[in-house]
A and B are shown apart, each in its own frame.
Chain A
Amino acid sequence: MGGEEEAETQTSICKDAPNLLSSFVDTFVDFSVSGLFLLPTPPLQNPNPSISRSLPPLPTRLPSPSRLIAVGDLHGDLDKTKQALRLAGLIDASDRYVGGSATVVQVGDVLDRGGDELKILYFLEKLKREAARSGGKIITMNGNHEIMNVEGDFRFVTKTALDEFRVWEQWFSVGNKMKGLCQGLETPTDPFKGVPMSFHGVRREFFDGFRARAAALRPNGPISSRFLSQNVTVLVVGDSVFVHGGLLPQHVDYGLERINEEVRDWINGSSGKFSPQYCRGRNAVVWLRKFSNEVAQNCDCATLEHVLKTVPGAKRMIMGHTIQTAGINGACENRAIRIDVGMSRGCGGGLPEVLEISKNSGLRILTSNPLYQNMGNAGLNVGKEELLIPAHGGLREVEVKA
């Protein structure tokens, strides 16, 4: 190479160096926190320069895919998360996405009650990117525990979780320092700006952990803006409505797209500390239990019917949030499907089950519960048979009268 070309090359490489350094630091920090290496971010669809963050709108309504899997509350248990995904044939033994063009909906409550919160967030992000390459889609939703944590309500945090966030902060801060040493990069914002040094009534030994969690998860925090802002709060896929707690008529009136956009904007820091009003209180979209009573006949089926009528094409509502000790089941003639099985260790360690809706086989419960091997009607719900899928995989039909 001639001298002139060499100089040109050096210049053009050094113009690139800040971005290369930034990518390296992000990769190193991600690896240090999660043990994972991620595929590159998929390119943004429809970037709109007039919106400050150029974010594509969150998907609120999607057509029926040929295979749809719904996964309930995970609450910080990575092992159970993987078991549930493996049950549905979505990941292989090496944790790679093998679900093809399936659509997967996780209905919220990744956070709290367990110590693998960041690991799960990163793992789902890894799978999202892998799925996108096979035409699949993984959609994560906000549960009440996501909303609470962004608001600083840490009442259900575990000690291990605090440690995970403390470790996150150490690497994240090192990463910021490294970026700060490169003149071509803007000095990263201090994620602790405005976070208190101490917390009244809390033992001193936990200050660091809470500071880290507060910095990470508050509106526009590094973890909330990176992961939680991608969550939808309400979702319609084909003829199924997904929501963590439940939808009331006033929520549909308010506007499903509007709810998703407002919650995302709040998570990204545009509307202060508290979530929108429909995310708080007993009738919130993420707190409602009207259609989730384990005693099916105590559910407010009339209201459910009313809501479903107002969402075009909707035949059922699929919800997490209320632990079903009997496993996934339906109420209100299976117009309410309750998929929170309390699988996390922190929720009693219920056996993993997921719901499958497919064009070929309709609604099926994929379960690892050995009690149901080769049994007929388990008698839990009228018209519903639960079959078991042994841990190593197996097939089983569940007929759910829609």
Chain B
Amino acid sequence: MGLAQSAEAAAHVTQTQTQTSTQTSTSNNSNSTSLDSVLAEAAAYGNNDDTEESIEAKAQRALECPCIADLRTGPCGFQFSEAFLCFLKSTAEEKGSDCVSPFVALQSCIKANPNAFSKDVLGEDESEKSEPTQEYKILPPQWSREPQSPKSRL
């Protein structure tokens, strides 16, 4: 690393970062923009007749990023990688809709391994739960109530 970036590459990165910083304020991000820029790069740098391979290659590169590292380990790392790769390569309008099979495989793995993606740090999840809770009261439905225990008379 540490190599000088061309102006064009720098422009792509800046553009992506601006777009992504706008996106993070919404609850469900627009999927197309970041990958669009990746595809645009593929067209710029890669062979134009080989765009398919470029997309595959770039998706593989994404898998090697530091962000993804911990997700690839553990009992569901393989299923995660397959699902994530499929998602990245998906050009469907509803992005990922052509990935049902790897998504379902990942679901099955998670169901079999509920702690597949838990952090290693012990007790980290538990400490949140043992915080003193404010009294957030609910009104429950009748069917969910404990039966009233008959009061014994002495």
Interface residues of A (CB under 8 A from B): 1, 4-5, 7-24, 26-28, 30-32, 37-41, 43-44, 47, 53-54, 152-159, 162, 174, 177-178, 180-185, 190, 192-197, 199, 201-203, 206, 210, 213-214, 218, 222, 225-226, 273
Contact = CB atoms under 8 A, between A and B. Distances in A.
Interface string B76-119: 00001001100110001111110010010011001000001111
B138 A15 contact: no
Contacts of A159: 143-144
Contacts of B46: 1
Given A8-B9, A12-B16, A41-B28, A174 B67 contact: no
30 contacts: A1-B45, A8-B5, A8-B9, A12-B12, A12-B16, A14-B67, A16-B38, A17-B66, A19-B24, A20-B34, A23-B31, A24-B88, A26-B29, A28-B87, A28-B106, A31-B96, A37-B94, A38-B94, A40-B32, A155-B139, A162-B144, A174-B117, A181-B70, A183-B66, A184-B66, A185-B67, A196-B136, A201-B145, A203-B145, A226-B28
A199 B37 CA distance: 49
Contacts of B27: 222, 225-226
A184 B12 CA distance: 19
Contacts of A196: 133, 135-136
B150 to A, nearest CB: 15
A162 B143 CA distance: 12
A43 B61 contact: no
A11 to B, nearest CB: 7
B8 to A, nearest CB: 9
A114 B58 CA distance: 45
A21 B6 contact: no
B95 A193 contact: no
Contact of A19 (B20, B93, B138, B145): B20
Interface in B16-57: 16-17, 20, 22-32, 34-35, 37-38, 41, 45-46
A203 B131 CA distance: 23
Contacts of B87: 23-24, 27-28
Contacts of B24: 19
Interface of B: 1, 3, 5-6, 9, 12-13, 16-17, 20, 22-32, 34-35, 37-38, 41, 45-46, 58, 61-62, 64-68, 70-71, 80, 83-84, 87-88, 92-97, 100, 103, 106-107, 110, 116-119, 128-129, 131, 133-146
A27 B106 contact: no
A77 to B, nearest CB: 17
B41 A12 contact: yes
A297 B140 CA distance: 37
The residue in A9, A16, A53, A174 that gathers the most chain B C-beta atoms within 10 A of its C-beta is: A16
Contact of B1 (A7, A182, A214): A7
B28 to A, nearest CB: 5
A194 B106 contact: no
A184 B142 CA distance: 46
Contacts of B92: 37
B141 A193 contact: no
A214 B136 contact: yes
Nearest to B117: A177
A199 B140 contact: yes
B142 A44 contact: no
B133 A194 contact: yes
Contact of A202 (B80, B106, B117, B146): B146
Contacts of B100: 31
B85 to A, nearest CB: 10
B93 A17 contact: no
Instruction: Please name the 3 residue pairs, one residue from A and one from B, whose CB atoms are nearest each other, closest first.
Output: A17-B65, A14-B65, A37-B94
A177 to B, nearest CB: 4
Contact of B58 (A13, A31, A156, A193): A13
Nearest to A43: B30
A201 to B, nearest CB: 6
B31 A27 contact: yes
